[in-house]
A and B are shown apart, each in its own frame.
Chain A
């Protein structure tokens, strides 16, 4: 077998990831604060899933006269409506604000169906009452909080509480900036976006665990090494894997964004940002934070803990 695969890195790199860590901290803190500010002032462009209201995607065989449809729907006095072309001139996307309660919402959607008439075929109709919207937000937030707590507990048990805390901070960083990006760009935030945010959290934690695992292994091998150097070594040793895996995921996310169609756009856009943020946060948020938490380079502390920790072979 003469064939040898290409190597994404010819040798283990020897980079110092702490060189710019203060700058990176500053950038991360800025991004998080900006996300919080944007969330507080601009809020999120909640889709009907969370805000309640009506969303209708309808199709006609001939191009739609948007002005006429708008006038007809406006005449129903349903409050804020947004009407746009969706994908092509024969397809429309109509959004109507929440009508206050479920009965009013169901009555409104019936009126809209009657007004649009039979020349439209309905591709998608979503009517969500305000009660359901609130519950979905509550359940979603609760699920994510518990999942993060579970991750932190497991990492604290397997590695150290420092690794657990740093890992969760990195996840929060990735999720928060993703949600912040949606807020800044005014992209619609719906249930699929939540699925994307959870995916990002999963991806980010996978990345962090791989490096933490190497840190633990190296702590046992090089007991006297400075913790900062040890982290650098671990990140460098896993760099080929990081570039390979994350590169592959990045490529398929781009494929999803380009070919996935309008329905998957929000999802794939969030994923794209998440892959980039997840890779960055593992190296520039989680790793330096662990170093700070370890009282700056007292390697023997981690070494002693690793000795005592439950190990496997």
Chain B
């Protein structure tokens, strides 16, 4: 391979120009970028939150609570259907992840089985003596979980969008997790508060029958008061409400924070869709002068008395709020309810200062390290040392360009991977040049020595790069988070070095040798 065909030279130069062009956005400031014409690439490398600052939040979606809710509703269904069909039963209830009921008369069992099988699709009914067990099939459970998690992720996205955060990343992770990454956010408590409420809102009437405190009448339930008791007003601590949901928060089309026209206190105004407006109208017509409880996540936020029928489908909630609370509640109602509660497994916040401090220190360290390598390479290999340094710069810019093009994120461990990639690129050049010396010491003249060096060193470089690449790929597949960040930059760096440290270096060395026709090697 003593000479490069023209097409090859053009191809190599084209790749170099493209690589450099695509890396420009990542290494120049935004202001410079804006002055460039639009046809140039503008995409820069995304910095990880550890370098950029922001909030990283890993959430677990309590999918089991949804399964339990669904089973609870099956219990209610079984109760109603069996009664309707005059099947006598006992011991109806949850047993682990299934509903279990005992049928009193053996002759009813087959009939009961057929009835309960109709209640929910995707269930399996098994008979064991006189007992029926109704459970979801594995497939149904998987489907429910998957639906709940994607729905939750969607609601999380809506809520985050409402806060006006720029460039949020919301990803499903594993079976039941959502990863949220918010660059630039440094008030994690507010975000957590927003996500910690499922925001299921329902409207209930008060229970008619009096309760004596211990016994709650059938069809009713007890709910704590969630109203903020700031001004010492005497409010009931618990309400006994009818179980029946008169209107559900699902029917809301809008909710906005505003101020009550009479009292001036912060309230949340809301508007129902057509069906919700009708339901709301019907209830208020029939129940004038009775209290109507607004329940959020099983807490009564307020229970105003209906003064007159409300027909327009809009109303307001006055829960003795502060302005910020009214704003957040309106936001939650607008975005909709989470299908299941979430718990936070992991929170990492990096302030913008630390991010830039660590970038600064890291950059200084890298520049000094790089300068040392550049100087020593020139000292050891002369012109070819300069060639190696150009190749090294190309490697750095190619790595950034590829990361930017694929939208990969650069993190602190990622920088470690990049450094190892650069070290291996330097090693490739050192291998080639030391080989040149060996060949030259064996008495070969300049051209054959250079040629032999590239040929011989190529095998070694390929072997060491492929070995490391295999390790990098396996680390990416089996690793998580930071290990992956490391593996990505390492793999990209190594692949780039096959081009920059071998092909591009070779072209430059050959160009130098064939133009100047030196008698001795510069190395």
Verify A240–B467 contact, CB threshold 8 A: no
Specify which chain A residues have a CB less than 8 angstroms from the CB of B427 in the assembled complex: 206, 210, 241, 245
Whether a CB of chain A sits under 8 angstroms from the CB of B477 is yes
- Whether B373 lies near A191 (C-beta < 8 A) is no
- How far apart are A23's CB and chain B's nearest CB, in angstroms? 29
A4–B382 touching, CB < 8 Å: yes
The complex places the Cα of A312 from the Cα of B357 at a distance, in Å, of 48
- Residue-wise interface mask of A (76-110) relative to B, using a CB-CB cutoff of 8 A (1 in contact, 0 not): 00000000000000000000000000110010011
Q: Does A121 sit within 8 A of B, measured CB to CB?
A: yes
Closest Cβ of chain A: how far from B392's Cβ, in Å? 11
A143 touches B479 (CB 8 A): yes
B480 within 8 A of A: yes
Residue contact B475 to A147, C-beta cutoff 8 Å: yes
Contact A237 B438, beta carbon cutoff 8 Å? yes
Contact across chains for B477 and A146 when beta carbons are under 8 A apart? yes
Select from chain B the residue with minimum beta-carbon distance to A262.
B361
Closest A residue to B458 using CB positions:
A312
Docked Cα-Cα span, A150 to B462, in Å, equals 16
Which residues in B have their C-beta under 8 angstroms from that of A214? 460
Other-chain residue from A127, A213, A249, A267 in contact with B459 (beta carbon distance below 8 A):
A213
Which residues, 484 to 505 on B, are CB-close (under 8 Å) to A?
A: 485-487, 490
Within the assembled complex, what's the spacing in Å between the Cα atoms of A272 and B443? 38
Q: How many residues of B contact A (CB 8 A)?
A: 87
Cross-interface CB contact of A263 among B192, B361, B520, cutoff 8 Å: B361
Known: A147-B471, A264-B361, A312-B459. A129 touches B345 (CB 8 A): yes
B466 touches A248 (CB 8 A): no
Give residues of chain B (329-363) contacting chain A, Cβ–Cβ below 8 Å.
Answer: 343-351, 353-354, 357-358, 360-362
Q: Say yes or no: B464 contacts A206, CB within 8 Å.
A: yes
Interface core residue of B365, B368, B383 (most chain A CB under 10 Å): B365
Whether A155 is near chain B, meaning CB under 8 Å from some CB there, is yes
> Does A198 reach chain B (CB closer than 8 Å)?
yes
Least CB distance, B81 to chain A, in whole angstroms: 38
Task: Give the shortest distance, in Å, between B523 (CB) and chain A (any CB).
Answer: 6
The contact size tier of chain A is: 35 or more
Q: Are A199 and B479 in touch, CB under 8 angstroms?
A: no
Closest chain B residue, CB of each to CB of A141: B478
Bitwise, A206-246 to B at CB < 8 A (1) or not (0) is: 10011011100100000000000000000001101100110
- Is there a chain B Cβ closer than 8 Å to A43's Cβ? no
Q: Which residue of the partner chain A has the closest CB to B459?
A: A312
Q: In whole angstroms, how far apart are the Cα atoms of A135 and B179 in the complex?
A: 15
Q: What is the CA–CA distance of A253 and B188 in the complex, to the nearest angstrom?
A: 35
1/0 contact string of B449-481 vs chain A (CB within 8 Å)? 000000110011011101110111111011111
Contact (A5, B523) CB under 8 Å given A106-B347, A244-B434: yes
Complexed CA–CA distance, A132 and B186 (Å): 22
Q: Are B483 and A195 in contact (CB under 8 A)?
A: yes
Whether B141 sits at the interface, judged by CB under 8 Å, is no
- CB–CB A1/B383 < 8 A: yes
Shortest CB–CB separation between residue B70 and chain A, in angstroms? 24
- Is the pair A199, B419 in contact by a Cβ cutoff of 8 Å? yes
B370 at the binding interface (Cβ < 8 Å): yes
State the Cβ distance, B82 to closest chain A Cβ, in Å: 39
- Smallest Cβ-Cβ distance to A263: which chain B residue: B358
Chain A residues whose C-beta falls within 8 Å of the C-beta of B220 in the assembled complex: none
Q: Are A203 and B420 in contact (CB under 8 A)?
A: yes
Where chain B touches its partner, the secondary structure class is helix
Cα distance A212–B460 when bound, in Å?
A: 9
Pair B354/A124 contact, Cβ less than 8 Å: yes
CB of B482 within 8 Å of the partner chain: yes
Measured CA separation A203–B468 after assembly (Å):
9
The residues in A between 137 and 164 inclusive whose CB is less than 8 angstroms from any CB of B are 139-140, 142-144, 146-151, 154-155, 158
B362 A5 Cβ-Cβ under 8 A: no
Inter-chain CA distance A217–B463, complex, in Å, is 13
| B413 contacts the other chain (CB 8 A) | yes
Residue B376 lies at the interface, judged by CB distance under 8 Å to chain A: yes
A14 to B473 alpha-carbon distance, docked (Å): 38
Q: Is the CB of B486 within 8 A of A195?
A: yes
Q: Are B416 and A140 in contact (CB under 8 A)?
A: no
Q: Mark B415-442, 1 if CB is under 8 A from A, else 0.
A: 0110110011011001100100110000
Give the nearest-CB partner of B468 in chain A. A202
Tell me how far the C-beta of B370 lies from the nearest C-beta in chain A, rounded to whole angstroms: 7
B522 at interface, CB cutoff 8 A: yes
Contacts A206-B427, A209-B463, A240-B437; A3 near B382 (Cβ below 8 A):
yes
Residue of B380, B438, B477, B522 with highest tally of chain A CB at under 10 A: B380
Q: Are B423 and A245 within 8 A (Cβ)?
A: yes
Distance in Å: Cβ of B437 to nearest Cβ of chain A: 7
Q: In the complex, are the beta carbons of B478 and A142 less than 8 A apart? A: yes
Nearest chain A residue, comparing its CB with the CB of B186:
A122
Residues of B within 8 A of A155 (CB): 467
Given that A5-B379, A264-B361 are contacting pairs, would A125 and B348 also be in contact in the complex, using a CB cutoff of 8 Å? yes
A176 within 8 A of B: no
User: Is B112 an interface residue, CB under 8 A from the partner?
Assistant: no
Q: Is A245 a contact partner of B430 (Cβ separation < 8 A)?
A: yes
* CB of A265 to closest CB in B, whole Å: 10
B486 near A198: Cβ-Cβ < 8 Å: yes
Chain A residues with CB under 8 A of B467: 151, 154-155, 205-206, 209
The answer to whether A123 touches B354 (Cβ under 8 A) is yes
Interface status of B364 (Cβ within 8 A of chain A): yes
Q: Chain B residues with Cβ under 8 A from A144's Cβ?
A: 475
Contact B369 A256 (CB under 8 A): yes
Q: Does B516 contact A (CB under 8 A)?
A: yes
Query: Is the pair B420, A252 in contact by a Cβ cutoff of 8 Å?
Result: no
Question: Which of B58, B353, B483 counts the most chain A CB atoms within 10 A?
Answer: B483
Max chain B CB contacts within 10 Å: which of A1, A8, A196, A205? A1
Contact of B423 among A154, A205, A249 (CB under 8 A): A249
Instruction: Tell me, in angstroms, the Cα distance from A258 to B367 when the chains sit together.
Output: 13
Distance in angstroms from A257 CB to nearest chain B CB is 8
Interface presence of A185 (CB below 8 A):
no
Nearest-Cβ distance from residue A199 to partner chain B, whole angstroms: 5
Partner of B431, one of A102, A195, A198, A241: A241
Contact B463 A191 (CB under 8 A): no
A199–B475 alpha-carbon span in the complex (Å): 11
Q: List 24 A-B contacts (CB under 8 A).
A: A1-B383, A7-B437, A106-B344, A106-B347, A131-B345, A146-B478, A147-B474, A154-B466, A192-B416, A198-B483, A198-B486, A199-B416, A201-B471, A209-B460, A213-B463, A245-B430, A248-B372, A252-B369, A252-B372, A256-B366, A259-B361, A260-B361, A260-B362, A264-B358
